[in-house]
């Protein structure tokens, strides 16, 4: 009797995968990549027309829109949210705005109004905000500069 063990190398057999399984995984991977791109998509533009700004907001699936009377629009659009600032007359802004605006005034020794939105030295503005830590709208119109700022965050 031979006490030597069998030394023939073992053959490696790769796992068998059907084409159907490969196609299912490839489809799931493509759907995940598409959703990731959809959610992380951003649009940034400066000094554009209101029509181009609204087109860019639409491409980012944002619900923010600027009025047709707006000029010199700067925007940052993202999935379901965004912000913009633009030049517009007070009459056109009040007509376009669907939120109840309140007029606020700050005398120079007092701190400026609404430091979290717009420039940091606004002293006389029309303003509305329902923003919380869970998102919301903020709208401000500087009566001295004749410029408006809008901001929306879904969360």
Could you give the C-alpha distances from 141 to 25, 50, 104, 105, 153, in angstroms and in order?
51, 17, 10, 12, 19
Specify if 5 maps to a domain.
Answer: no
What's the pLDDT at 5?
66
Indicate the pairing of strand 71-78 with strand 147-153: unpaired
Specify if 48 maps to a domain.
Answer: yes
Specify if 137 maps to a domain.
Answer: yes
Which residues lie across from 127 on neighbouring strands?
Answer: 102, 140
Specify if 74 maps to a domain.
Answer: yes
Q: How far is CA 14 from the centre of its chain?
A: 47
What's the pLDDT at 111?
59
What's the pLDDT at 109?
58
Specify if 3 maps to a domain.
Answer: no
Average pLDDT for runs of 10 along the chain of length 155: 68 83 94 89 92 93 92 92 93 91 74 63 84 83 91 83
Read off the pTM. 0.74
Specify if 8 maps to a domain.
Answer: no
Specify if 24 maps to a domain.
Answer: no
Specify if 35 maps to a domain.
Answer: no
What's the pLDDT at 110?
61
Structural domain containing residue 100? 44-153
Number of domains comprising the chain: 1
What's the pLDDT at 113?
57
């Amino acid at each position: 009797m031979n006490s030597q063990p069998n030394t023939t190398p073992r053959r490696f057999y790769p796992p068998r995968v059907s084409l159907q399984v490969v196609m299912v995984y490839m489809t799931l991977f493509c759907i995940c990549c598409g959703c990731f791109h959809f959610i992380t998509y951003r649009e940034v533009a400066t000094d554009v027309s209101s029509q181009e700004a609204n087109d860019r907001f639409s491409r980012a699936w944002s619900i923010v829109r600027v009025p047709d009377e707006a000029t010199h629009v700067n925007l940052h659009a993202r999935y379901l949210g965004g912000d913009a600032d633009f030049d517009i007359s007070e009459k056109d802004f009040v007509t376009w705005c669907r939120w109840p605006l309140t007029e606020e005034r700050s005398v120079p020794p007092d701190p400026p109004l609404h430091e979290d939105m717009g420039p940091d030295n606004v002293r006389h503005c029309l303003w509305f905000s329902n923003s919380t830590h869970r998102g919301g709208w903020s709208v401000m119109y500087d009566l001295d500069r004749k410029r408006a700022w809008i901001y929306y965050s879904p969360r």
